[in-house]
Amino acid sequence: MILILDALNMHRFPTVVEDMFQLRARVFAGRLGWEVKITSGKEVDQFDHMNPGYIVGLDDDMNVISCARVLQTTGPHMLSDVFDTILDGEPPLRSPTIWESTRFCVDTQRLKRTDSATTVSKATCELMVGILEYGRSSGITDIITVIDPVMDRVLKRSDNAPHGYVGKTVPMGKVSALAALLDCTKERIERVRAFAGIEGNVLLSEEAALQKLTSLDADTKASVSDLKSYCQELLESAATPSDVAAAMALQRILLGKHPADTFTQHNFPEFEQGHHSSHFSPVATTPTVS
C-alpha cells in the first residue's frame, strides 16, 4: 500500500512520518554511509522543510517499508544544491513539470524476515509505481532521480530503465551516485506493474489509512488490557513469595515491550506497594522493585 503525504496531511500521520525518517537514517547513514545529519534517530534535511511530497510504502500493520521524496525543480533541490558535482558543469534541469525524486529507500531488513508477506522486489516496484502514478496524476512529465549504480540496475531489471542521464557518476559515501530521468507515462507504469505482478490501485486514501491506524491502535490497547488482567490474576492467585516475584518479573518484561502511557507501573499499584496475600505475611511478600 502506498500513502501520499504532503504539507496538508502530514500532521494526521505522526507515527508514519516518524517511522519514515527513521528508515531513512538506517539506510542512508547506516547502510550506505552517506554523510547525512541524524537527529534523534531520524534523517531530516533542509529539503524536508520545503513542503515536498512523500510516497510511503506500508505493510498490513502500517509499518513503513519504503519511502521516497518528490520536490519541484523550479527551486532549491538536491541535484542543484547538494549533488551538483554530478552535473559536471551543466546547468540543473528546472521545469514545473520535472520533479526530483530522492531518498528512495526500502526496509530490506524488515522485508527479509520470514513472516513478511511482501518481498523486497515487490515493495521496490510498488514504490516505483506509486511515484510514477503520483507524478502522472499531478501533471509531472518526468522524474529526475539521484541513484547509485545498484539502483540503476534495479530500474533496468524491473523494466523501468531511465530514458536518459544527466551529468556524470561521482563518488558518494560507500557508493557512487548518478542522475537518471524517468518519464511518468502510462506505458512505463504498466511495464513495472507487469514485471512485479502488481494489480489494482496501490494508493491508500487518507481516510482508509486513518481507519487502519485506529483499528490497530484499538487492537494494541485490547492486547495490553488482556496482559494487565493476566498479571492481576497471577498476583491474586499468588500463594508464596516466589509466586509474587515471578509475577512481578513477568510484569517488568512486559513493561519493556509496551508504551509507558498504556502499560505502566501506575496501572499496577500492587507492584509498587507489594501484594498482600492472605496466605502469608505482607512483610515477607513485599519484594523490592528495582
pLDDT at 279: 34
Calculate the alpha carbon distances from 236 to 231, 275, 282 in Å.
9, 8, 13
Residue corresponding to grid cell 531488513 = 109
pLDDT at 238: 80
Low-confidence ranges of the chain (pLDDT < 50): 222, 259-290
CB 287 within 8 A of CB 241: yes
Calculate the alpha carbon distances from 221 to 211, 216, 253, 259, 264 in Å.
15, 9, 17, 10, 13
C-alpha cell at 204: 491508500
pLDDT at 213: 87
Question: What residue type is 227 in one-letter code?
Answer: L
Question: What residue type is 76 in one-letter code?
Answer: P
C-alpha cell at 23: 528508515
> With the C-alpha atoms ordered 266, 272, 276, 277, is the resulting torsion angle positive or negative?
positive
Calculate the alpha carbon distances from 188 to 1, 132, 141 in Å.
19, 8, 12
CB 161 within 8 A of CB 182: no
Q: What is the DSSP string of 160-174?
A: ---SEEEEEEEEETT
CB atoms within 10 A of CB 19: 20
pLDDT at 225: 58
User: Where is 273: in which H helix or E strand?
Assistant: helix 269-273
Calpha distance 30→25 (Å, rounded): 7
Which of 22, 170, 51, 37 has the alpha carbon at shortest distance from 110? 22
Instruction: Give, as one character, the DSSP assignment of residue 51.
Output: -
pLDDT at 217: 67
pTM summary value: 0.74
Mean pLDDT of the chain: 84
